[in-house]
Amino acid sequence: MRPQKALTFWCAVLGIIVILTACASFLSSYGPNDMNLDEVYVSPGEDHLLGTDHLGRDVFSRLLEGGKVTLTVASVSVLLSLVIGILYGGISGYVGGAVDTVMMRFLEALITIPSLIIILAFQAFMQGGMWSMALIIGITGWLVTARIVRSEFIRLKDAEFVKMATMFGTPIWKILFGHMLRNSVPAIFIVTLFNFAGAIFIEVSLSFLGIGVPPAIPSWGNMLYYAQNDILIGAWWIGLFPGVMIFVTILAINFIGEALKNPERRRLDA
């Protein structure tokens, strides 16, 4: 498949997933937490498109609602990490000198600490929750963004248009955000895509371990957590569908990021 067609295909796949999860409440006649003990472990069929779980809850409804929760947590965390990374990396790259050296040493020290350990510590301290998880992932996921922004600002601060803006007395904030940040958007967007995929993986991983999103809130990770025992009794559909959605979503994001990264890399090399 040609790069442009592959990019279009994976963008369409991701778009469909986002639309389906956003319209979760309109696409199923069952609520994600509606229980019916008379319809426990019903296999996929006409009444329940993707079957039911151990409490008679509709898997299709929970899949869409769970996707909304997982993607919301990932989106909020990525937005937070983006803001922190831009501010930190922008200051470091633009100011330079001793300030840049100190800030980069601090960042490198943080990078040496496995992020999962920090997330687990924060999660235990904050006692879980959907928004607390988004906050935790966000404040631990800005490091790569900061390094990218720093390198872009170092490259751009010697550009002719920045020197001209400085010479004509353009305010620093306008140079930073109106000129340098705007020209850094392609690189920042690509790293943000990969951070988004990483945030989904972290939410799913922690929820699968039972320390992520609270059990009362459906998420793809929670669905996998509860499906562990269901698979042993033959209820394959409960874990299969969220697993497929997680795999396809992360795959689509990574393919989009790779497709966008190659032209950007060629542009920087040139």
Give the pLDDT confidence of 207-254 residue by residue, as tens digits. Answer: 888 888 888 889 999 999 988 888 888 899 999 999 999 999 999 999
Least confident window among 117-121, 148-152, 227-231 = 117-121
Residue 26 tokens read as: 């309109």
Q: What are phi and psi of 236, to 5 degrees?
A: -65, -30
SS3 202: helix
Residue 34 tokens read as: 């509606």
Report the domain count for the chain: 1
Residue 101 lies in a domain: yes
For residues 62 and 224, give the distance between their C-alpha atoms in angstroms, rounded to a whole number: 12
Confidence bin at 58 (pLDDT 50/70/90): very high
Q: What are phi and psi of 226, to 5 degrees?
A: -75, -20
Do residues 252 and 14 make contact, with C-beta atoms less than 8 angstroms apart? Answer: yes
CA distances from 48 to 30, 44, 72, 225 (A): 9, 6, 25, 21
Digit-coded pLDDT (tens) for 158-173: 888 888 887 877 888 8
For residues 137 and 143, give the distance between their C-alpha atoms in angstroms, rounded to a whole number: 11
Residue 23 lies in a domain: no
Residue 139 lies in a domain: yes
For residues 270 and 267, give the distance between their C-alpha atoms in angstroms, rounded to a whole number: 5
Residue 56 lies in a domain: no
> Which pTM does this prediction carry?
0.88
pLDDT value of position 127: 66
Spell out the residues 6+ positions from residue 147 whose beta carbon is closer than 8 angstroms to its own. 89, 107
250: domain CATH number?
1.10.3720.10
Digit-coded pLDDT (tens) for 6-30: 899 999 999 999 999 999 888 888 8
What range does the domain containing 99 cover?
62-269
pLDDT value of position 101: 93
Residue 3 lies in a domain: no
CA distances from 87 to 31, 95, 174 (A): 41, 12, 14
Residue 57 lies in a domain: no
pLDDT value of position 71: 96
Residue 29 lies in a domain: no
